[in-house]
Amino acid sequence: MQQTILDTPIEYLKGVGPQRAAVLKKELQIFTYKDLINFYPYKYLDRTKYYKINELNSGINAEVQLVGKIIRLKTVEQKRGSRLVAVFTDGTAEMELIWFQGHKWIKENLQLNIPYVIFGKINHFNGLFSMPHPEMETVEEHKKSLQSALQPVYPSNEKLNQKNISNRSITKMMQQVFIETHHLFKEVFPENLINELRLLPKNESFFNIHFPKSAELLNRAQFRLKFEELFFIQLQLLSKNLVRKHKIKGFAFNVVGDYFNSFYHDYLPFPLTNAQKRVLKEIRIDMAHEAQMNRLLQGDVGAGKTIVGFMSMLLALDNGFQACLMAPTEILANQHFAGIKELADKINVKVSLLTGSVKTKERNQIHEELENGTIHILIGTHALLEDKVQFKNLGLSIIDEQHRFGVEQRSKMWKKNSLPPHVLVMTATPIPRTLAMSLYGDLDVSVIDELPPGRKPIKTLHFFENKRLQVWHFIKEEIAKGRQVYIVYPLIQESEKLDYKNLMEGYEALSRDFPFPKYRISIVHGQMHSKDKDAEMDRFVKGETHIMIATTVIEVGVNVPNASVMIIESAERFGLSQLHQLRGRVGRGAEQSFCVLMTGNKLSADTKVRMDAMCRTNDGFEISEIDLKLRGPGDIMGTQQSGVLNLQIADLVKDQDILKLARTKAIELLKEDINLEKPEHQALKFVFEILAKKNNIWNYIS
């Protein structure tokens, strides 16, 4: 019975009908009674206070509530159309109620000399108070309606307003849905959990989220519903991890052999940090089991993830398997190839590169050598996912910056083998802990939280435009010391809408201030042909040019230890994580490096926070937490994963403590009853299985 009523189409709710239902479906995705109940207010208004008109003053900036009567109505002509004006009095004074649209309907429904409760924002002009488009109901209606001290305010938009679906309309629909579905919300949590956390029962939670009887009950209702939402997300992620470990078989790499040992003892270019050793040990333990490894490797820019990835590949080779590394761009794939090939050549490991730029003849040879096992390691872009790319025996798949790949793309890697390869996901974009818990909660997480010894922290400075000559002088000093400089611009061509420095203008100005042949300049941007881009990059890498002018194509994948200065033009245009990634292009050598943020003089409050954070800390994880607070999870993860965290009531930034508690309780529950077979867990299991039906095998791939 519960399911039947809650799944009733919204058009059948009293007061809705087909026309309103069409708007609710299109604008708010409300299709059923259940959808309406899960449409939560975004704020609450205190409706306990009733003002008198003679108590109002021009300093009041909040919405107010008054009781009185309309004594006169008039239509006032304006330059464009007209406005309807009602004179309203409460016995202490008079004020005007004003409507700029919907006159006909309002005139027909307003009654003179009847007591009304009005609510809205007041304006003050020429000594007279007015209230445009007030919420109104008769005192008689007001007494009958579901009253609470805190009145809900629901999200709205222009289309809803045009169709006369006001906040009051939605509140009335909500009252009706509670009348029709009274006490039909089934409890899902076992009694012991409800008692332990003092959770408000489900019925009371739903009622008090919409019609709170007190501030305390509202807080308890919000806590209960947020906890439930986050709990089920964690339960899904954690059970996926357990299912994968118990049911999805992988290859057991028991041997640590010649490839790994000879590289580690004879060819390691620098001693591993303790963090790198710890992470390698975690990976070795994972890959020694028959269960498929699915591990996320996080590390700040320059922390040494690539060497850990390469040594993990050598473990696969020691056990008779191949490995691959997939990167999101050709520049990054080329960078990985150059770095890994240099290491691999020393121990006779064959590495090949497969990108969209590889010619057909060479591509066919790669396909052949992959299938016969001649190629040990394949590095590339999306090209690795093509059906023609078949390995002899792929044992380890490393995915770099995986949030740039869709789930469907990643799933193709599974089809390359009879058994799925071990998966290592690497990211140089530090992910806030709460976001990692929710997006990658089904992965085991390793963190390299230590930079190699000898690395000096990059000094970050913020300058306004009026200090440009000082910055140019500093660049010349660094070039005179034999160093190289990056200058990054946000745009390639001038934009009419955005008054920011652009790359082409910058190139012309720099060519005047840094004249050839004393200074040599490279230029790289996303609209160049790959061949030209690579040639310019190569000149800079070899030290043939002093300055590299670029757009954010150099955000990842460029490693020039001699480059010691990063100038970011119009730094206010960049997000925090992007600024941090760009800064990571310098500081790769033994010399002191600098990052200079150039901005205009007028900065928003958020921009000031970003600039201050960059100048204060080099810690990518701290920066990621600040970025999450400024931008929210959707913007940070980008479009590929925008639907993953479509939370209805919880907020990953504000509700971090609730998320941690939900994860802890989900872990405890699965340890006690992994298959949710106990009688007290049947309601949980029912909801869990409904959620699981929306999923498929892709969910096991991160």
For 134-162, write each residue's pLDDT tens digit. 988 898 887 776 566 688 889 988 888 77
Q: Name the strands in the sheet holding 123-125, side by side, starting at the edge strand that comes first in the sequence.
A: 123-125, 128-132, 94-99, 82-89, 63-77, 116-121, 135-138
Mean per-residue pLDDT, 423-443 = 76
Q: Name the strands in the sheet holding 322-326, side by side, starting at the edge strand that comes first in the sequence.
A: 351-354, 377-380, 322-326, 394-400, 422-427, 294-299, 444-448
Cis omega (within 30 of 0) on the bond before 517?
A: yes
Mean per-residue pLDDT, 437-464 = 83
Question: Which range among 188-197, 234-243, 363-372, 559-568 shows the weakest confidence by mean pLDDT?
Answer: 234-243
- In degrees, to the nearest 5, what angle opens at C-alpha 76 toward C-alphas 75 and 80? 115
Residue 472 confidence (pLDDT) above 90: yes
Residue 3 confidence (pLDDT) above 60: no
| Tens digits of residue pLDDT in 506-534 | 888 888 999 988 999 998 877 778 788 87
pLDDT value, residue 639:
39
Q: How large is the greatest C-alpha to C-alpha distance in the chain, in angstroms?
A: 96
pLDDT value, residue 258:
94
Which residue has better confidence, 429 or 29? 29
Confidence band for 642, pLDDT divided at 50, 70 and 90:
very low
Token pair listed for 578: 């992007």
Percent of all residues in the chain with a pLDDT value above 90, rounded to a whole number: 45
Mean pLDDT across the chain:
85
**Would you give the DSSP letter of residue 292?**
P
Burial of 111 (0-12, 13-18, 19+ CB in 10 A): exposed
Mean per-residue pLDDT, 654-673 = 90
Mean per-residue pLDDT, 589-609 = 91
Confidence band for 222, pLDDT divided at 50, 70 and 90:
very high
pLDDT value, residue 527:
75
User: Please, what are the domains in the chain?
Assistant: 2-42+182-210 (no CATH), 48-146 (2.40.50.140), 258-288+304-427 (3.40.50.300), 459-617 (3.40.50.300)
Residue 494 confidence (pLDDT) above 60: no
Confidence band for 656, pLDDT divided at 50, 70 and 90:
confident
How far is the C-alpha of 506 from the C-alpha of 255, rounded, in Å?
55
Percent of all residues in the chain with a pLDDT value above 70, rounded to a whole number: 89
Mean per-residue pLDDT, 384-400 = 91
Confidence band for 641, pLDDT divided at 50, 70 and 90:
very low
Confidence band for 351, pLDDT divided at 50, 70 and 90:
very high
Which residue has better confidence, 62 or 573? 573
Mean per-residue pLDDT, 124-135 = 87
pLDDT value, residue 257:
93
| Tens digits of residue pLDDT in 262-315 | 999 999 988 999 999 999 999 999 999 888 888 889 887 778 888 999 999 999
Which residue has better confidence, 490 or 231? 231
Closest CA to 287 of 324, 347, 245: 245
H helical segments located in 597-632: 605-616, 620-631
How far is the C-alpha of 322 from the C-alpha of 340, rounded, in Å?
14
Mean per-residue pLDDT, 34-44 = 92
Confidence band for 38, pLDDT divided at 50, 70 and 90:
very high
Contacts of 518 (CB under 8 A, 6+ apart): none
Residue 430 confidence (pLDDT) above 80: no
pLDDT value, residue 320:
95
Beta strand spans in 412-512 (E)? 422-427, 444-448, 459-464, 484-488
Which residue has better confidence, 268 or 330? 268
Contact call for residues 98 and 85 (beta carbons, < 8 A): yes
Residue 372 confidence (pLDDT) above 90: yes
Confidence band for 503, pLDDT divided at 50, 70 and 90:
confident
Mean per-residue pLDDT, 489-498 = 61
Confidence band for 643, pLDDT divided at 50, 70 and 90:
very low
Alpha carbon distance, N-terminus to C-terminus of the chain: 37
Residue 632 confidence (pLDDT) above 70: no
Residue 555 confidence (pLDDT) above 60: no
Residue 696 confidence (pLDDT) above 50: no
pTM higher than the cut 0.75: no
Mean per-residue pLDDT, 240-251 = 76
pLDDT value, residue 148:
62
User: Could you write out the DSSP letters of every residue in 45-73?
Assistant: EE-S--B-GGG--TT--SEEEEEEEEEEE
How far is the C-alpha of 553 from the C-alpha of 492, rounded, in Å?
11
pLDDT value, residue 610:
93
Confidence band for 404, pLDDT divided at 50, 70 and 90:
low
Other C-beta atoms closer than 10 Å to the C-beta of 4 total: 9
pLDDT value, residue 363:
93
Q: Do β-strands 444-448 and 422-427 pair in parallel, antiparallel, or remain unpaired?
A: unpaired
Question: Which range among 131-145, 217-231, 585-599 shows the weakest confidence by mean pLDDT?
Answer: 131-145
Confidence band for 2, pLDDT divided at 50, 70 and 90:
very low
Mean per-residue pLDDT, 588-607 = 90
Question: Which range among 153-162, 475-484, 680-689 shows the weakest confidence by mean pLDDT?
Answer: 153-162
Which residue has better confidence, 54 or 497? 54
pLDDT value, residue 304:
86
Which residue has better confidence, 484 or 64? 484
| Tens digits of residue pLDDT in 52-68 | 998 888 766 678 889 99
Strand partners, 370: none
Residue 636 confidence (pLDDT) above 60: no
pLDDT value, residue 638:
47
**Would you give the DSSP letter of residue 507?**
H
Confidence band for 95, pLDDT divided at 50, 70 and 90:
very high
